[in-house]
């Protein structure tokens, strides 16, 4: 394999991992609060669509991005309203929202543009900028892999670090973990559990919304039907594997990014396309099984000791 | 000075049960005050009222001689009342310092000041000689130390009155001694402690005054110096209304259930059954009395096959039950009225019919090929509803809509008609109305006398255990500590002394009665 192939593979791993990292962080916030977030999928989908529409309408990538973030947050808050205020079952509410979002995004696109599957022709949307890192850019191999990504790729890494500090070191982060571990204990010292849930869902929605913005304003520059394609669930798996640790979730998401990139490369060969497309999901299952076997053994050893 | 006074407290639960009736009780500053009473006497309810978890229908609370209204635990904490629950409210993955300062974390530059949190926690722990390491993870601590974390949590929030609900139940003797030293230190510092316990020797050793509750009433507050353990026991244990059940003497036949040297260690490593042996014969009810939590539940679960045990044998109709599946144990002749009817006794969301025939729907005679014979199921259930006077709108109604008494009747109906010749009845009348309770007791006696089945009755209700049982055993700390050949002539005060650990029978005294 020549150098160019390696660097382009490395570059695509980072690019493909970006939405997975945001999805994983979105799930991680919820997991720390003891909530199971299956709806990152919806948060991203709305983020992707609203980002395209608003950036197209305002001719500002920044405003489009902010609108995408807001759309994600609103999706999160909606789940909170349904489950905490409306006492709906968490799983059912999220399944409902996922189904409604898949149809709802298309409906909105159709209502605005008359298109049913792709916004590319109808909306001239903008992309978020790519950033070349001076200095790093010219380092051989590493430079071309790490430099020149969409701003949100770097944003994903920064978000993971910030989220990690937030969860571990701030008062609110501590309260989120307390609620996640034992809501009664948290309540008994005056922490409001519903408020923490609201915060977790909002943050989760924001992260999902950013992930969505990357999909339609970075990865691609248009919205297509169901473009999130299960990335929300892969993020959820990544977060579950590491117990909701943001940094761990980021690395897990990178592993899935590698699988995604391999699958992309193989599509260029004449390997059976359907099988190749399954690869990232198969990797998810395999890694999940391996991790739970490891955890099970560790728990067993601990119980014996 | 009076740190706390509860005056004329009456608490009626929504279901109409009066758990506290006009209770008045006060605690001085700098005293350790015992609150004792049998299970169900109303101690926990009274403390929940004090801690703002339940609202009383009548009565007033004074803190430092000022009348206060406490409508939530947070308000109680504000007023300087702290509670250490039996089930800890801790976060195992976090450190001692994080647990102690949760909700009131010191901060620096917007982040939690971990160092400061550790420092104040460590200082407090050292001051009261709790021996905690503020940086240790709570999940790695022993139960005794976790309890210290809970106490520290209350103290750091400024608790002057500390409620401890059966704190020694989870402790080793060594840890108990340590706790007592620390509580005495708190007393000298001017704190007041309310100590709930069943263990009279502990009350005698530690406390200054004792308030006795009995059946929801207050049976007075007494200085410990004026009482001995037997005196407290007499105040605690008693029958306000003596219930009588007419029955002739049993004519025991051949042995049905033989329990030999049964020993069990639970998941926490505590020996809950310690070398328990007894035999139950055809046509008799063997009663087991004891303060709850002394191994009765494990005994019933071990016999019925719900849990496994370390050693010993359980034989039913001559068959060793070890390792058998529950279905097979049942077909060997066992039926069970479990302690917790809502989780073990029935399936809440299933209909009365489904619950009533849960043990027999798969019998050949009730099947129509591979399907359930619906007509048969209905007629079986109808017969049970009639015989046991179960009131329900229809047998297709989900059982959870029935009253507690009627749910229990469904369980009892199923278990008494299963064709078994042995029944374990664990707290069969708890929480059911008086009429149903009487019916269940009479049914139990009638079944044993007329059908010749053997019964094991476990109950915390003294009236019930003394009147329904033929022979009576007393369990304490997993052992049989007393055995009486004739339950309805046993003196209640004497029984109380065995239950509460003041007296123990020797093997010779119990010989022939086990
Ligand atoms: N939430 C409730 N609703 C109805 N009855 C209750 C409730 N809580 C407790 N009780 C009843 O009140 C009585 C007193 O209970 P409790 O205060 O727990 O007694 P103790 O702590 O002395 O064992 C018991 O008979 C119990 O069944």
Burial class, B22, CB count within 10 angstroms (exposed 0-12 / middle 13-18 / buried 19+): middle
B189 and B305, same domain (yes or no):
no
The pLDDT value given to residue A258: 93
Is B246 within a domain? no
Q: Is A224 left (phi over 0), alpha (psi -120 to 50) or beta?
A: beta
Q: Which of B74, B89, B112 sits opposite A170 (nearest CB)?
A: B112
Is the domain of B426 the same as that of B493? yes
Beta strands at B454-458 and B255-265: parallel, antiparallel or unpaired: unpaired
Q: Taking the model in full, what pTM does it have? A: 0.79
Nearest by CB: A178 against B74, B102, B111: B102
How are the residues of chain A apportioned to helix, strand and coil, as percentages rounded to the nearest 5? 75, 0, 20
Q: Does residue B260 share a domain with residue B129? A: no
Q: Tell me the CB-side half-sphere exposure of residue B374, using CA atoms within 13 A.
A: 2
Structural domain contains residue B402: no
Closest ligand 1 atom number to CA of residue B46: 17
Task: Output the CATH code of domain A2-304.
Answer: 1.10.3470
Instruction: Give me the number of domains chain B comprises.
Output: 2
Tell me, yes or no, whether B227 and B262 share the same domain.
no
Task: Name the residue of chain B whose CA is nearest to A302's CA.
Answer: B140
B424 & B495 share domain: yes
B12 alpha carbon – ligand 1 mean position (Å): 10
Is B66 inside a domain boundary? yes
Mutation site, B51, B82, B103, interface A, largest A CB count within 10 A: B103
- The answer to whether B203 and B33 have CB atoms below 8 angstroms apart is no
Q: Name, in order, each residue with C-beta under 8 angstroms of A215's C-beta and a sequence gap of 6 or more.
A: A19, A44, A47, A48, A227, A228, A231
Rounded to a whole number of angstroms, the distance between the first and last alpha carbons of chain A is: 49
For residue B426, the enclosing domain spans 255-333+419-510
- State whether B63 and B139 are in the same domain: yes
**B-chain residues within 8 Å CB-CB of A245?**
none
The helix/strand/coil state of B92 is coil
Segment B357-372, tens digit of pLDDT: 999 988 888 888 888 8
Whether chain A has a CB inside 8 Å of the CB on B94: the answer is yes
Nearest CA to ligand 1 atom 3: B13
Last residue of a domain, one of B176, B208, B237: B237
Cross-chain Cβ contact A178/B91 below 8 Å: yes
For residue A196, the distance in angstroms to the closest alpha carbon of chain B comes to 13
Q: Pick from A174, A186, A245, A303 the residue to mutate for testing the B interface (most B CBs within 10 Å).
A: A174
B337 close to ligand 1 (CB < 6 Angstrom): no
Do B170 and B294 lie in one domain? The reply is no
Tell me the residue ranges of DSSP E strands in B186-284.
Answer: 192-196, 209-214, 217-223, 255-265, 271-281
- Is residue B387 one of the residues assigned to a domain? no
Q: Is B107 on the interface with A (CB under 8 A)?
A: yes
Same domain, B211 and B127: yes
Q: How many CB atoms lie within 10 A of CB A116?
A: 10
- How far apart CA A65 and CA B70 sit, in angstroms, is 49
B423 and B281 within one domain? yes
The reply to whether B155 falls in a domain is: yes
Residues 165-194, chain A, touching B (beta carbon < 8 A): 165, 169-171, 174-175, 177-178, 181-182, 184-186, 188-191
Judgement on whether residues B184 and B262 belong to the same structural domain of the protein: no
| CA B184 – CA B169 distance, rounded (Å) | 19
Contacts A169 to B, Cβ<8 Å: 111-112, 114
Pair (B223, B269) in one structural domain? no
| Contact between B82 and B157 (Cβ < 8 Å) | yes
Phi-psi category of residue B114: left, alpha or beta, with phi > 0 → left and psi -120 to 50 → alpha: alpha
Which chain B residues have a beta carbon less than 8 Å from that of A190?
74, 77, 103
Mutate to test the pocket of ligand 1, among B23, B40, B294, B464 (most ligand atoms within 8 A of CB): B40
B44 lines ligand 1 (CB under 6 A): yes
* pLDDT tens for chain B, residues 1 to 514: 899 999 999 999 987 788 999 999 999 999 999 999 887 789 999 999 999 999 999 999 999 999 999 999 999 999 999 999 888 899 999 999 999 999 999 999 989 999 999 999 999 999 999 999 999 999 999 888 999 999 999 999 999 999 999 898 778 778 889 999 999 999 999 999 999 987 888 899 999 999 999 889 999 999 999 988 888 888 888 776 667 788 888 888 999 999 999 999 987 778 899 999 999 999 999 999 998 889 999 999 999 999 999 999 999 999 999 999 999 999 999 999 999 888 899 999 999 999 999 999 888 888 888 888 999 999 999 999 999 999 888 999 999 888 888 999 999 999 999 999 999 999 999 878 777 888 899 999 999 999 999 999 999 888 899 999 999 999 999 999 999 999 989 988 899 899 988 899 999 999 888 8
Nearest to A31 by CA among A248, A278, A295, A251: A248
Q: Is the C-beta atom of B197 inside 6 A of ligand 1?
A: no
How close is the Cα of B33 to the center of ligand 1, in Å?
Answer: 21
In CATH, what number is assigned to the domain containing residue B311?
3.40.50.300
Interface test with B, best of A164, A168, A169, A171 (most B CBs within 10 A): A171
Assess if residue B49 is contained within a domain: yes
Within a domain: B383: no
- Cα distances (angstroms) measured from residue B20 to each of A191, A223, B10, B434: 31, 66, 5, 18
**B6 and B114 part of one domain:** yes
The backbone torsions φ and ψ at residue A18, rounded to the nearest 5 degrees and listed phi first, read -50, -55
The domain limits of chain A are 2-304
Cα–Cα distance for residue pair B104/A100, rounded to 1 Å: 42
Indicate whether B363 belongs to any domain. no
């Amino acid at each position: 394999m020549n150098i160019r192939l390696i660097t382009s593979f490395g570059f695509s791993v980072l690019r493909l991992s970006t939405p997975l990292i945001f999805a994983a962080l979105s799930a991680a916030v919820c997991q720390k609060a003891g909530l199971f977030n299956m709806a990152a999928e919806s948060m991203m989908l709305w983020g992707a669509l609203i980002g395209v529409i608003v950036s197209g309408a305002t001719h500002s990538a920044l405003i489009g991005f902010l609108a995408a973030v807001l759309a994600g947050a609103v999706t999160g808050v909606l789940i909170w309203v349904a489950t905490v205020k409306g006492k709906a079952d968490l799983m059912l509410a999220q399944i409902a929202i996922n189904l409604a979002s898949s149809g709802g995004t298309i409906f909105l696109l159709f209502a605005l543009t008359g298109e049913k599957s792709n916004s590319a022709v109808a909306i001239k949307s903008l992309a978020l900028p790519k950033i070349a890192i001076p200095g790093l850019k010219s380092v051989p191999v590493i430079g071309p892999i790490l430099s020149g990504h969409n701003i949100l790729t770097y944003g994903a890494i920064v978000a993971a670090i910030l989220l990690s500090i937030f969860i571990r070191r701030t008062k609110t982060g501590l309260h989120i973990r307390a609620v996640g571990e034992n809501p009664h204990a948290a309540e008994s010292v005056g922490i409001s559990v519903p408020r923490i849930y609201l915060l977790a869902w909002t943050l989760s929605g924001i992260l999902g919304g950013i992930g969505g913005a990357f999909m339609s304003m970075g990865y691609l520059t248009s919205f297509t039907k169901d473009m999130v394609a299960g990335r929300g669930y892969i993020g959820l798996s990544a977060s579950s594997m590491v117990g909701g640790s943001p940094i761990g979730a980021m690395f897990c998401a990178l592993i899935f990014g590698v699988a995604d990139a391999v699958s992309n490369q193989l599509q260029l060969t004449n390997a059976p396309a359907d099988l190749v497309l399954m690869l990232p999901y198969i990797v998810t299952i395999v890694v999940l099984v391996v991790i739970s076997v490891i955890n099970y053994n560790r728990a067993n050893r601990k119980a014996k000791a | 000075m009076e740190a706390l006074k509860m005056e004329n407290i009456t608490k009626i639960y929504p279901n109409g049960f009066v758990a506290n009736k006009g209770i008045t009780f006060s605690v001085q500053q700098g005293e350790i005050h015992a609150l004792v009473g049998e299970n169900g006497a109303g101690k926990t309810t009274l403390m929940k009222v004090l801690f703002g978890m339940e609202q009383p229908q009548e009565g007033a609370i004074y803190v430092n001689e000022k009348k206060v209204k406490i409508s939530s635990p947070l308000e109680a904490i504000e007023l300087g009342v702290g509670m250490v629950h039996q089930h800890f409210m801790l976060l195992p993955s976090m450190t001692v310092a994080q647990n102690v300062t949760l909700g009131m974390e010191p901060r620096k530059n917007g982040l939690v000041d971990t160092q400061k949190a550790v420092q104040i926690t460590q200082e407090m722990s050292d001051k009261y000689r709790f021996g905690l390491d503020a940086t240790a993870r709570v999940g790695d601590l022993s139960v005794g130390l976790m309890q210290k974390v809970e106490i520290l949590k209350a103290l750091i929030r400024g608790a002057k009155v500390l409620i401890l609900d059966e704190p020694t139940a989870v402790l080793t003797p060594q840890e108990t001694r340590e706790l007592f030293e620390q509580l005495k230190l708190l007393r000298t510092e001017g704190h007041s402690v309310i100590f709930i316990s069943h263990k009279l020797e502990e009350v005698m050793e530690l406390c200054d005054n004792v308030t006795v509750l009995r059946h929801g009433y207050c049976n007075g507050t007494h200085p410990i110096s004026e009482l001995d353990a037997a005196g407290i026991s007499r105040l605690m244990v008693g029958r306000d209304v003596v219930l009588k059940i007419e029955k002739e003497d049993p004519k025991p036949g051949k042995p049905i259930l033989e329990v030999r040297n049964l020993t069990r260690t639970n998941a926490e490593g505590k020996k809950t059954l310690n070398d328990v042996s007894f035999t139950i014969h055809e046509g008799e009810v063997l009663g087991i009395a004891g303060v709850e939590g002394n191994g009765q539940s494990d005994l019933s679960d071990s016999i019925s096959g719900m849990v496994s045990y370390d050693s010993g044998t359980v034989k039913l109709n001559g068959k060793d039950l070890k390792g058998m599946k529950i279905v097979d144990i049942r077909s060997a002749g066992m039926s069970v009225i479990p302690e917790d009817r809502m989780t073990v006794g029935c399936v809440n969301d299933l209909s009365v019919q489904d619950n009533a025939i849960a043990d027999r729907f798969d019998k050949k005679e009730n099947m129509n090929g591979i399907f359930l014979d619906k007509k048969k199921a209905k007629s079986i259930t109808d017969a049970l509803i009639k015989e046991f006077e179960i009131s329900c709108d229809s047998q297709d109604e989900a059982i959870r809509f029935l009253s507690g008494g009627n749910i229990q009747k469904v369980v009892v109906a199923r278990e008494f008609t299963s064709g078994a010749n042995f029944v374990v009845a664990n707290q069969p009348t708890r929480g059911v109305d008086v009429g149903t309770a009487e019916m269940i007791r009479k049914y139990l006696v009638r079944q044993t006398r007329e059908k010749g089945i053997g019964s094991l009755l476990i109950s915390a209700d003294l009236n019930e255990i003394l009147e329904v049982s033929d022979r009576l055993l007393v369990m304490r700390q997993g052992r049989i500590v007393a055995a009486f050949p004739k339950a309805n002539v046993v003196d209640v005060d004497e029984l109380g002394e065995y239950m509460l650990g003041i007296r123990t029978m020797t093997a010779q005294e119990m010989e022939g009665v086990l």
